[in-house]
Structure 1
Amino acid sequence: MESINIQKQFPILNQKIHGYPLVYLDNAASTQKSLQVIESLQQYYKQDNANVHRGVHTLSSRATDAYEGARKKVANFLNPEGGTPIIAGAIGLGTAIDFLEGIGLDTIEKHDKQLTSYAVERMKQIEDVTMYGPDDGRFGLVTFNLGKVHPHDLATVLDTYGIAIRAGHHCCQPLMRHFEASATARASFYLYNTEEDIERFILALEKTKEFLKSDFILISS
């Protein structure tokens, strides 16, 4: 899978943060929307915005057809449904499913596993990096700390290099207590991430370590 080509299909990734190209590694919290999904939402709101299943006019008919087509895809992909439909969301989700199935879920899984393994091996080369959880079966993310540097401080400095990661307890305080960590940093990967992204992350991590120094940062409460 050519992630660099896939990356171009996600407009939000084509920007600079603090003068650096954005490397988005917070995918476990929110993944980005492809241009196809954005355009399908724009299409609905610009040309087809109407209620479904109850109108006889052209807009309602088009909205119903688009919604039902997406609904079938979602049923095959996820198999849940309930409540009042979010029409534009359903249409966008249908387009997202088309996008994912066009690449292939097996291909995406293989890519994410390879990228995670690559990141783990590179992070092992940085002194004072502690990674949490077993290496076997690690998939899509790496949870870690850098010496005594608080994850919020780490994430803040990494952001100045255009690297977006997650910091905190990740809504799993019992696990944090198990690891005896008040908080951790987390880098998570998706189909648009590349080995080049990992290398930029590693370089920024090394620069951050040098800048902060483990004994310089106070642990935040």
Structure 2
Amino acid sequence: MITADIRELFPILKQEVNGHPLVYLDSAATSQKPIQVIEALKHYYEWDNANVHRGVHTLGSRATDAYEGARAKVAKFIGAASEQEIIFTRGTTTAINIVASSFAQSVLREGDEIVLTPMEHHSNLIPWQQAAKKSGAVLKYIPLQPDGSILLADVENTITDRTKIVSVVYVSNVLGVINPVKEIAQIAHKHGAKIMVDGAQSTPHMKVNVQDLDCDFYALSGHKMCGPTGIGALYGKKSLLNNMEPVEFGGEMIDHVDLYESTWKELPWKFEGGTPMIAGAVGLGAAIDFLTEVGMDNIYKHDVQLTNYALDRMMHIEDLSIYGPTTNRAGLVTFNLGDVHPHDVATVLDSMGIAIRAGHHCCQPLMRWLEVSSTARASFYLYNTEDDVDRLVMALQKTKEYFGDAIG
């Protein structure tokens, strides 16, 4: 397990909530930020704040170096072949929308297929619905097993020679399942399709190498991996990005502008119109430095051990339903407590200083597949401990007592 010293680097965890020490179990929604990231943001605004790629003055040069330095860190962190393959975005949602708007428009024709799974976050579902409506393409879904996992045989049966795009989540934000994206990519490529991977939940918790996965596009969000909100990245193979049209037009992304025609800058800047999220990129770079120092293998091992501990403890709570596989899953547990609404469970837990998520988790189709309207979710990260899990279990037992007849 990661040492308790890690917790000391997260100032927000030192507070009390409703008279109890905070237990933060909502990292799948957004992670907390270590002091290194907070200080990086503070230093940028105090010393280097200027626009990038424009001014030749000292502050502008320092800001540009910091911004482009962060791009280099992202490229190395996920194993991209080139920094030109990294496009800074507002997050995973924006990254997927770029691919669904630009790449999809160039390749999709009526009758073509877009293959997804029923476990997709709305951010990796709605953009493809819109792309299908505009092009006349057909949406197809890889079926799920009873525990929410995917069989490669079903992938083989779903993807055909009419499939142009496959877009799948690496780690489900509800089920915790880790999908075999490398093998899915192989099947997609065998049929001439391209694959987009939603890496919002995988990038913070495990070592990622996009070249090894051989995915064509990969999206991530900084705020889920100890970085600031409002910053993320799209990885795309250079050959694909070069042939894609920008989706935002204006300053910074242009090469030459005439009264009636314009041309675009080279990668990656043709996709980064306007003043970019400079401070966010700086903070993301600091977060990557922090995660690299801790070690992604160490983080993954910690998350797996803590999740297994939580599953073992929570399975003994009577009338508690747990969703997702018992093995090969990432650091979260999604559950329902009898007939008590998840919002009520979360409210009672909050009164005891424990922060969890409750609702449909931006996965309404998956909720219907699970035959529930909503669920509660406890998600873990490198700063959580077995003591946090013990407090969660104790609080759930008290919640059972509080609601009494509503359980069972």
TM-score, structure 1 as length reference = 0.94
1:138 to 329, 350, 368: 329
Hey, what's the Cα distance between the residues in 2 that align with 1:212 and 1:47? 54
Hey, what's the Cα distance between the residues in 1 that align with 2:33 and 2:286? 10
Q: Aligned-pair distance for 1:59?
A: 1.2
Moved over 4 A (4+): none
Quote the residue 1:191 is aligned against.
382
Contiguous gaps of at least 5 residues in structure 1: none
Q: Aligned-pair distance for 1:214?
A: 4.3
Deviations 1:90-122, CA, capped at 9 Å, x for gaps? 111010000000011111001000000000000
Q: Aligned-pair distance for 1:210?
A: 0.8
Contiguous gaps of at least 5 residues in structure 2: 81-85, 88-270
Amino acid at match of 1:10: F
In proportion to residue count, which structure has more strand? 2
Quote the residue 1:83 is aligned against.
272
Deviations 1:54-83, CA, capped at 9 Å, x for gaps? 222221122122222212101222453141
Amino acid at match of 1:56: V
Q: Which moved more, 1:54-63 or 1:163-172?
A: 54-63
Hey, what's the Cα distance between the residues in 2 that align with 1:69 and 1:208? 48
Quote the residue 1:43 is aligned against.
43
Amino acid at match of 2:43: Q
**Cα 1:102–1:214 shift into 2, 3 Å:** farther
Quote the residue 2:367 is aligned against.
176
Hey, what's the Cα distance between the residues in 2 that align with 1:63 and 1:173? 41
Hey, what's the Cα distance between the residues in 2 that align with 1:187 and 1:162? 13
Paired residues for 1:57-68 under 5 Å: 57-68=57-68
Deviations 1:133-164, CA, capped at 9 Å, x for gaps? 12021221111000111000000000000000
Q: Tell me if 1:55 matches 2:246.
A: no
Paired residues for 1:1-221 under 5 Å: 1-78=1-78, 79=80, 80-81=86-87, 82-84=271-273, 85-215=276-406
Q: Which moved more, 1:75-84 or 1:29-38?
A: 75-84
Q: Which moved more, 1:85-94 or 1:71-80?
A: 71-80
For residue 9 of structure 2, give the secondary structure of its aligned residue in structure 1. Answer: coil
For residue 406 of structure 2, give the secondary structure of its aligned residue in structure 1. Answer: coil
Higher relative contact order structure (alpha carbons within 8 Å, sequence separation ≥ 6) = 1
Say what the alpha-carbon RMSD is for the aligned residues. 1.5
Hey, what's the Cα distance between the residues in 2 that align with 1:19 and 1:59? 45
In proportion to residue count, which structure has more helix? 1
For residue 321 of structure 2, give the secondary structure of its aligned residue in structure 1. Answer: strand
Hey, what's the Cα distance between the residues in 1 that align with 2:75 and 2:277? 15
Equivalent pairs counted in the alignment come to 217
Percent sequence identity over matched residues? Answer: 65
TM-score, structure 2 as length reference = 0.52
Amino acid at match of 2:399: T
Q: Aligned-pair distance for 1:189?
A: 0.4
